[in-house]
């Protein structure tokens, strides 16, 4: 079945912009990105939209559809009724470059702030041995396609630019957790999680988990276990005693 769909697409740049209305043909089996490509081909050749794989794996096509953060290539047109106006806007947490393309360099900055995997100095590559259970735990986090939808959604930085300095966001707190849980990593990442990456600002609302296209249990499997490790350190009487004595 084909029909003429009604779309509102945000057009503009870092100086400002507005929603514009378009009527675009929609065909059976299409996703929102197909419609945007048709819009580019027939009415707005200069419409900026970032994409690569069209298979939900490169993480490039993140945007907001009817206010919900989603991948353009994985959102089927069949989830909307033919008479529904579909509104497509850029991710709100990052500065707009043009139209649907945002500057996501905040995330690269945060990625660089996490020290890389550090195995014991006397362990040569090829000598790494891990329990399957430990492999599986980090495997879930490594499904991340870096779409930054979780970073875009978290209320700590959404509409709060002032928190960006102190908060790495769910994606990079998850990276800290992944490395902290790694049995061969020798860096103590618990203090940095709280003090440098802003774990304490997360109040486990789980919005990040809700929008993750890879269905990673970011909150339950990464953020909460990390918070537990921070709490254990703080309230463990032996740790408290050790700290008190060392301060004297």
Please work out the total of residues on this chain that contact ligand FES, with binding judged by CB under 6 A: 12
| Shortest Cβ 115–ligand SF4 spacing (Å) | 20
Cβ density class 64-81: b for 16+ within 10 Å, e for less = bbeeebbbbbbbebeebe
Is 154 a residue that touches ligand F3S (CB under 6 A)? yes
Dihedral sign from CA coordinates of 99, 108, 56, 79: negative
Residue 226, CB-side half-sphere exposure with 13 Å CA sphere: 33
Please, what is the minimum distance in Å from the beta carbon of residue 236 to ligand SF4? Answer: 30
- Among the listed residues 187, 190, 155, 193, the one whose alpha carbon sits nearest the alpha carbon of residue 173: 193
Binding partner of residue 51 among ligand F3S, ligand SF4, ligand FES, none, CB under 5 to 8 Å per kind? ligand FES
- Per partner kind, with CB cut-offs from 5 to 8 A, the member of ligand F3S, ligand FES, ligand SF4, none near residue 146 is ligand SF4
Q: Which does 223 bind (CB under 5 to 8 A by kind): ligand SF4, ligand F3S, ligand FES, none?
A: ligand F3S
| 58 binding partner (options ligand SF4, ligand FES, ligand F3S, none; Cβ < 5 to 8 Å by kind) | ligand FES
Does position 100 bind ligand SF4 by CB under 6 A? no
* Site mask for ligand FES (CB under 6 A), range 43-82, x = bound: --------xxxx-xxxxxx---------x-x---------
What tokens appear for 176 in the block?
A: 């800290």
The candidate with the shortest Cα–Cα distance to 90, out of 119, 56, 50, 55, is 50
**Taking the complex as a whole, how short is the minimal distance between the CB of residue 26 and ligand SF4, in angstroms?**
26
One character per residue 181-210, x = contact with ligand F3S (rule: CB under 6 A):
---------------------xxxxxxx--
Select from 186, 165, 190, 164 the least CA-distant residue to 176.
190
Alpha helical stretches, state H, 20-157: 32-42, 105-112, 132-141, 149-153
Question: Per rule CB under 6 A, is residue 63 in the interface with ligand SF4?
Answer: no
- Which residues in 137-176 contact ligand SF4 (CB under 6 A)? 144-150, 171
In degrees, to the nearest 5, what angle opens at C-alpha 107 toward C-alphas 103 and 110?
Answer: 140
Among ligand SF4, ligand FES, ligand F3S, none, residue 101 binds (CB under 5-8 Å by kind): none
Q: How far, in Å, CA of 237 to CA of 217, rounded?
A: 31
- How far is residue 99's CA from residue 49's CA, in Å, rounded to a whole number? 7
Q: Which residues bind ligand F3S (CB under 6 A)?
A: 153-154, 156, 170, 202-208, 219, 223
Q: Which residues bind ligand SF4 (CB under 6 A)?
A: 144-150, 171, 211-214, 216, 218
């Amino acid at each position: 079945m084909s029909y003429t769909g009604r779309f509102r697409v945000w057009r503009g740049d870092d100086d400002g912009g507005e929603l514009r209305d378009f009527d675009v043909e929609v065909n059976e089996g299409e996703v929102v990105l197909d419609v945007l490509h048709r819009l580019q081909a027939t009415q707005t050749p200069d419409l900026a939209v970032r994409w690569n794989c069209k298979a939900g794996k490169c993480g490039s096509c993140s945007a907001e559809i009817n206010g919900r953060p989603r991948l353009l290539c994985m959102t089927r047109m069949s989830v909307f009724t033919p008479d529904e106006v579909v509104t497509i806007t850029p991710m709100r947490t990052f500065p707009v470059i043009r139209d649907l393309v945002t500057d996501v360099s905040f995330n690269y900055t945060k990625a660089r702030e996490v020290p890389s995997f550090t195995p014991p100095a006397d362990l040569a590559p090829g000598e790494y041995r891990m329990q399957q259970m430990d492999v599986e735990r980090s495997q879930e986090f490594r499904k991340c396609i870096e779409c930054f939808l979780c970073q875009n959604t978290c209320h700590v930085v959404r509409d709060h630019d002032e928190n960006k300095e102190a908060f790495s966001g769910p994606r990079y707190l998850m990276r800290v957790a992944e490395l902290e849980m790694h049995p061969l990593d020798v860096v103590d990442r618990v203090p940095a999680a709280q003090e440098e990456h802003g774990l304490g600002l997360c109040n486990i609302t789980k919005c990040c988990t809700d929008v993750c296209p890879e269905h990673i249990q970011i909150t339950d499997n990464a953020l909460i276990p990390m918070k537990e490790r921070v709490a254990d350190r703080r309230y463990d009487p032996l740790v408290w005693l050790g700290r008190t004595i060392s301060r004297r």
